Amino acid sequence: MQFTGLTLSQVLMTLGAAGGVTLLLYLLRTRRRRVQVPFIPLWESLLRDRRSSRLFQSLRHLISLLLALLVVALLTFALGDPRDREDSPDVAHQVLLIDASVTMGATDVEPNRLQVAVDQARRLVAGAGARQRILIAQVDASVTPLSPMTDDPRLLDEALDAVALSDSGADHGRALEFAAAVLAGRSGASAVLLSDRAEPLPEGPAVALADAGVDLRFVPIGRRSENVAISAFAVRRYPLDKNRSELLVELHNGSDHAERVELTLRGDGQTIDVQTLELEAGARVRRVYDDVTGVRSELEAELRAAEAGHDDLPIDDRAHAVVPERKAMRVLCVTAGNRYLEAALLLDEYMQVDVVTPAEYAGAAGYDAVIFDAARPPEPPTVPALYIDPGAVADGHTPLETRASLERPFFDRLRRKHPLLRFTAMADVNIASADALVTVPGDVVVAADRRGALVVAGEREGLRFVALGFDLRDTDLPLRVAWPLLLLNTIEWFTVDEQEQRSSLDVGESTTIELPAGVEQVTHMAPDASERTLPVRDGRVTLTPERVGFHELRWPGGRRALAAALDGSTLRPLAPAEAMVVAGRAVPPPTVPEPAPARPPWAWLALVAFALLAIEWLTFHRRWTV
Amino acid sequence: MRWPIRVRGAHTDPADAPGDDDLFDEAFQKRLEYLALVSRRVFRGRTRAERRSRKTGTGVEFADYRRYAAGDDYRQIDWNVYGRIGRLMLRLYEEEEDLSVYILLDCSGSMAFGRPPKLRYGKQLAAALAYVALNNLDRVSITALRDGSAERLAPTRGRNRIFTVFEFLRPLQADGGTHLADAISTFAAQNKRRGVAILISDLYDPLGFEEPINALRFARFETHILRLVSPDEAEPNLHGELELVDSETGLTRQVTVTPALLARYRAAQAERDQRLEAFCGEKQVGLSTLDISVPPEEAILNVLRHGGLLA
């Protein structure tokens, strides 16, 4: 027995105080009223007969007082809300895991899958016995417990009311690990997962459940899969013409029949394209808009059925993206004179280039990147650096040492997926001679002759660098398109955060944004126009979007738009799971007992107290106990 | 400002009690004028009145014959009888005489009980009886009994003396003990002339009701008891833990009133009533029990008439 309301000491203190008051009231009640009678000897003759029963009278008075004290004690203990101890072997414990991920918003069941799951959970709660404790948790990208482990129907009802649809996916593994952790060591442990998904469990959660002795049950939610979705939506700027953008839209028809849909594209709120597409059952269709101009920031795609059709999940009919910001860069070029290099640097109008000779070089403070052409700085630079032919000079700092000179090397090995080589073709570049670069662990060889590395990328003390082991003028690379691309890719790799180039974030994915110096407060405006203030730490703010749509961060003198999209892993067919398999065994559904009124012990105590009060009242007014 | 003192079961607040100025109204007096006080015995009166006496004398109503004796008034000899039987017989006539009516009013503390207080009710009865008696040219005396003493209004006669009666009754208050036997002994010593004694009381005497009644009988008064009863004392509305206070002695008793105790109280009351009636019947004493909730006019006109006190 344990008290879940007042503590034992509080119960005892209340009992003492209330008992004292009861005793006082009792004494007041038994103070006799004075009543005049005309002839008391007549009463005396009667009282003489009653003296023999005085002892019994006193006893009856005592019984009345004891009844009152018993009522007080019962009510006081009821305030303590006594329950069976949690570790009592008779008490069963259950965790209800309610999937509130984005697909639970599907309307193939009325009103939607989530509400059906909540109703099922409500039935389980209503059927729970007096010796059953339940904890309710919402499952989406994370697990959120909404109630304590309790048998209080009011708390459980409030928890079920608090379950809200999320725009993220569901992490069942994490949810079941949570259930195993909560139920570990508890008697009668069971977990019920109410979901429309039933992926095979990873080994970790399955083992955790088995170790905790948890009886897992599964309630499948959902009826069918009729859904057409925008499964991908992304935009990027062209590397060589950042005024232009390229847009990718992918549509997926998850239904078992063809659908005719209308796709609308909007840029900064203005409609820029409308297309009608025919989607076969199960088909994925991609559309690339290769020349999206005039859009400053926000892009939105909306899908609608061109004909009367049914779409069970409306939320994936819209997608949002933000065109990556263009950022002006300052580059310092340290060279004794290299026309090819300087000409390539002029291609990007958003790049401000300063050229100095090696003798004039006095540091790169204030620049975003520095290029050393046949030159070495006396000290390591404080910004990312490109070293071209570092072996040409002997003195100064270089991140890489050079080895023997190679005659007519070729790019035998190219790391084509490296950002430096994006959109380039360098396999047939002719090089007269080059120095082989000596790498250290952690360096990435981007291009190499079989005799040694020719292009290396890496980091030194947190700063990126790229080294070319040859003089441009000893190659035909400057005559190729690949040269300015390689140079601009290098500058971009130095200065542009990959994160900033993404047109949208996944819901639930955190991103950290650098803020201008002096910004101490950032306001976040969510797609539903709600606002909240985000903390700023070390000049950065971290945002984790929870809703699909455009998010905006504002601070004094600036703003940043971000788009949040559904996690790609959630955009799978809507088909509901029929069964869940763990360790080769189908998880059975829970038994839903008939709703039984589970009256907590305090209610019984109060009932007994009121019954005693009624008896005391009756006996008092019937003059049995007075 | 004067706060009323309310004690359950008693009515001691003077402001709450009706005033004594309205003991009679005019209509009430008119109705009483037609009533006559009767007595089953005839007592000798000192002066002529409207009541027959056993004393033969100068009246006009023939009463009896008796043999002539020396010294008799030979004017009363019936010569016709002498002619028929040859003996001298004297005609006797009933002489009409006045009657002494003694009204004894219990003024002990217990007479303050009831609504209206029993004393007020008793005053009205006494005044009414006195009025009727005076109206019939009887002699009326009123005695207030309290603490064993008897404060009295000397015998008086004549209709206009009713105001003297009122003046005597009006200031009487219910206080003190009862001790009826002592008070009646004092009364008997004060009043040698026998007559009708009407005792108005609740008969709540700690020494019992027998002794006072016997005191009247032994003094050869024709005794009538008007016993006043309040509904509150016959059916007391009491329950619970109480401290009973005797309205006369101030004596207290703690009691738990239950339905069973009330039943026993009622049984004790009934047994006492029965004993009183049996005693009065045995001793040929008139007894009338009057409920003070009944208006006094009705009591006087109906109850007393049926009881034989009024003609």
pLDDT in tens, A123-150: 888 887 767 889 999 998 889 999 999 8
Residue of A nearest to B243 (CA): A34
Tens-place pLDDT, residues B13-67 = 433 444 555 666 676 666 666 554 433 333 344 444 445 444 555 556 677 788 8
DSSP label at B179? -
Mean pLDDT for all residues in chain A: 84
Q: Which two tokens stand for residue B151?
A: 């404060």
| CB-defined contacts A:B, below 8 A | 98
Beta carbons of B258 and A38 less than 8 Å apart: no
pLDDT value of residue A441: 92
pLDDT value of residue A623: 59
* Whether the Cβ atoms of residue A123 and residue A82 lie closer than 8 Å to each other: no
A83 strand-pairing partners: A2
Q: Which of B9, B240, B259 sits opposite A37 (nearest CB)?
A: B9
pLDDT value of residue B13: 40
Pick the closest to residue B225 from B196, B192, B247 (CA basis): B196
* Whether the Cβ atoms of residue A190 and residue A591 lie closer than 8 Å to each other: no
Q: Which two tokens stand for residue A195?
A: 């979901």
pLDDT band at A59 (very low <50, low <70, confident <90, very high): low
Mutate to test the interface with A, among B12, B178, B203, B255 (most CBs of A within 10 A): B255
The mean pLDDT value for B265-282 works out to 91
The mean pLDDT value for B191-207 works out to 87
pLDDT value of residue B94: 63
* Whether the Cβ atoms of residue A623 and residue B239 lie closer than 8 Å to each other: yes
Distance CA A460, CA A442 (A): 10
Does residue A223 surpass a pLDDT of 60? yes
A582 strand-pairing partners: A585
Helices B259-282/A40-50 angle, 10° precision: 120
Is the CB of residue B253 less than 8 Å away from at least one CB of chain A? yes
Mutate to test the interface with A, among B246, B247, B254, B265 (most CBs of A within 10 A): B246
Q: Which two tokens stand for residue B246?
A: 């005797």
Does residue B6 surpass a pLDDT of 50? no
Closest-CA distance of chain A to residue B296, Å: 21
What residues of chain A lie within 8 A of the CB of B252, using their CB? Answer: 34, 40
Q: Which of B244, B261, B268 sits opposite A40 (nearest CB)?
A: B244
Least confident of A28-32, A543-547, B112-116, B210-214: A28-32
Query: What are the structural domain ranges in chain B?
Result: 23-43+98-307, 49-97
pLDDT value of residue A597: 55
Pick the closest to residue A310 from A265, A264, A254 (CA basis): A254
Closest-CA distance of chain A to residue B116, Å: 14
Distance CA A234, CA A246 (A): 8
3 state SS of A314:
helix
Closest-CA distance of chain B to residue A35, Å: 5
Closest-CA distance of chain B to residue A612, Å: 20
* Percent share of chain B, pLDDT over 90: 13
pLDDT value of residue A480: 92
pLDDT value of residue B40: 31
Q: Which two tokens stand for residue A135?
A: 């904890």
> Which segments of chain A belong to CATH 3.40.50.880?
329-495
3 state SS of A602:
helix
B89 strand-pairing partners: B67
* Whether the Cβ atoms of residue A453 and residue A437 lie closer than 8 Å to each other: yes
> Which segments of chain A belong to CATH 2.60.40.10?
228-326, 500-568
The answer as to CATH 2.60.40.10 being correct for domain A228-326 is yes
Pick the closest to residue A433 from A465, A472, A400, A395 (CA basis): A472
pLDDT band at A84 (very low <50, low <70, confident <90, very high): low
| C-alpha distances in Å from residue B158, one per residue of B19, B126, B161, B162, B195 | 26, 16, 6, 8, 17
Secondary structure of chain B: what % helix, strand, coil (to 5)? 35, 30, 35
Q: Is A269 left (phi over 0), alpha (psi -120 to 50) or beta?
A: left
Domain A329-495: CATH superfamily is Class I glutamine amidotransferase (GATase) domain (3.40.50.880)
Tens-place pLDDT, residues A273-312 = 888 888 888 888 888 888 777 777 888 999 888 776 678 8
Distance CA A448, CA A468 (A): 10
Q: Where are the beta strands (DSSP E) in chain B?
A: 48-67, 89-97, 100-106, 139-146, 149-156, 196-201, 222-229, 240-246, 252-257, 286-291
Q: Which of A33, A35, A46 sits opposite B264 (nearest CB)?
A: A46
Residue of A nearest to B267 (CA): A46
Beta carbons of A626 and B230 less than 8 Å apart: no
Q: Which of A47, A49, A623 sits opposite B253 (nearest CB)?
A: A47
Mutate to test the interface with B, among A31, A35, A620 (most CBs of B within 10 A): A35
pLDDT value of residue B259: 81
Select the more confidently predicted residue: B139 or A307. Answer: B139
Distance CA A250, CA A283 (A): 10
Select the more confidently predicted residue: A560 or B39. Answer: A560
Distance CA B306, CA A371 (A): 144
Compute the residue count for chain B.
311
Distance CA B45, CA B67 (A): 25
Tens-place pLDDT, residues A361-413 = 999 988 989 999 999 999 999 999 999 999 988 888 999 888 878 899 999 99
Select the more confidently predicted residue: A571 or B234. Answer: B234
Residue A114 has phi, psi (to 5 degrees) of -65, -45
Q: Which of B114, B236, B243 sits opposite A34 (nearest CB)?
A: B243
> Which segments of chain A belong to CATH 3.40.50.410?
92-223+576-599
* Percent share of chain A, pLDDT over 70: 90
Tens-place pLDDT, residues A433-470 = 999 999 999 999 999 999 999 999 999 988 999 999 99
A512 strand-pairing partners: A542
What residues of chain B lie within 8 A of the CB of A626, using their CB? Answer: 240-241, 256, 258
Q: Which two tokens stand for residue A604?
A: 């019984």
For residue A122, the tally of other CB atoms under 10 A from its CB is 17
The mean pLDDT value for A180-208 works out to 84
Four-point Cα dihedral A59, A64, A65, A66, nearest 10 = 80
Please confirm whether the linkage preceding B236 is cis (ω < 30° from 0).
no
Pick the closest to residue A256 from A282, A295, A284 (CA basis): A282
Residue of B nearest to A51 (CA): B255
- Spell out the CATH class of A500-568: mainly beta
Pick the closest to residue B247 from B149, B173, B148 (CA basis): B173
User: Would you say the C-alpha torsion B280, B281, B283, B285 has a positive or negative sign?
Assistant: positive
Does residue B131 surpass a pLDDT of 60? yes
Helices B259-282/B210-218 angle, 10° precision: 10
- The separation between CA A78 and the C-alpha centre of its own chain, rounded to angstroms, equals 41
Closest-CA distance of chain A to residue B311, Å: 33
Closest-CA distance of chain B to residue A625, Å: 10
pLDDT value of residue B187: 87
Beta carbons of A36 and B206 less than 8 Å apart: no
Distance CA B108, CA B118 (A): 10
pLDDT value of residue B104: 92
What residues of chain B lie within 8 A of the CB of A45, using their CB? Answer: 268
The mean pLDDT value for A92-116 works out to 90
Least confident of A26-35, B267-276, B283-292: A26-35
Does residue A81 surpass a pLDDT of 80? no
Beta carbons of A40 and B243 less than 8 Å apart: no
* Percent share of chain B, pLDDT over 70: 74
pLDDT value of residue B30: 66
| C-alpha distances in Å from residue A499, one per residue of A14, A105, A326, A496, A514 | 61, 30, 13, 8, 11
Distance CA A288, CA A304 (A): 19
Beta carbons of B242 and A626 less than 8 Å apart: no
What residues of chain A lie within 8 A of the CB of B236, using their CB? Answer: 37
Beta carbons of B240 and A41 less than 8 Å apart: no
- The separation between CA B101 and the C-alpha centre of its own chain, rounded to angstroms, equals 9
Pick the closest to residue A140 from A191, A105, A192, A101 (CA basis): A101
Residue of A nearest to B228 (CA): A38
For residue A207, the tally of other CB atoms under 10 A from its CB is 14
Distance CA A382, CA A465 (A): 11
Helices B26-33/B118-135 angle, 10° precision: 50
Q: Which two tokens stand for residue B24?
A: 């009679």
What residues of chain B lie within 8 A of the CB of A46, using their CB? Answer: 261, 264-265, 268
Does residue A53 surpass a pLDDT of 80? no
* Whether the Cβ atoms of residue A266 and residue A300 lie closer than 8 Å to each other: yes
Pick the CATH number of B23-43+98-307 from 2.40.50.100, 3.40.470.10, 3.40.50.410, 3.40.50.720: 3.40.50.410
pLDDT band at A538 (very low <50, low <70, confident <90, very high): confident
pLDDT value of residue A389: 93
What residues of chain B lie within 8 A of the CB of A41, using their CB? Answer: 206
Is the CB of residue B176 less than 8 Å away from at least one CB of chain A? no
pLDDT value of residue A605: 78
Four-point Cα dihedral A440, A443, A447, A451, nearest 10 = 10
Does residue A540 surpass a pLDDT of 90? no
Does residue B276 surpass a pLDDT of 80? yes
Select the more confidently predicted residue: A185 or A83. Answer: A185
Residue that the structure tokens 């309310």 belong to: B6
Is the CB of residue B233 less than 8 Å away from at least one CB of chain A? yes
Does residue B9 surpass a pLDDT of 50? no
Residue that the structure tokens 């004017």 belong to: B75
3 state SS of A187:
coil
* Whether the Cβ atoms of residue B119 and residue B21 lie closer than 8 Å to each other: no
pLDDT band at A116 (very low <50, low <70, confident <90, very high): very high
Return the CATH fold of A92-223+576-599.
Rossmann fold (3.40.50)
The mean pLDDT value for B164-175 works out to 87
The mean pLDDT value for A478-482 works out to 92
User: Would you say the C-alpha torsion A135, A136, A137, A139 has a positive or negative sign?
Assistant: positive
pLDDT value of residue A158: 93
Distance CA B122, CA B138 (A): 20
Highest mean pLDDT among A433-442, B74-83, B296-305: A433-442
pLDDT band at A98 (very low <50, low <70, confident <90, very high): very high
Is the CB of residue B189 less than 8 Å away from at least one CB of chain A? no
Is the CB of residue B177 less than 8 Å away from at least one CB of chain A? no
Distance CA A432, CA B181 (A): 160
A262 strand-pairing partners: A276, A304
Beta carbons of A46 and B265 less than 8 Å apart: yes
Residues on A contacting B at a C-beta cutoff of 8 Å:
29-47, 49-50, 57, 623, 626
Does residue A621 surpass a pLDDT of 90? no
Tens-place pLDDT, residues A235-259 = 887 766 777 788 889 888 888 888 8
Beta carbons of A57 and B236 less than 8 Å apart: no
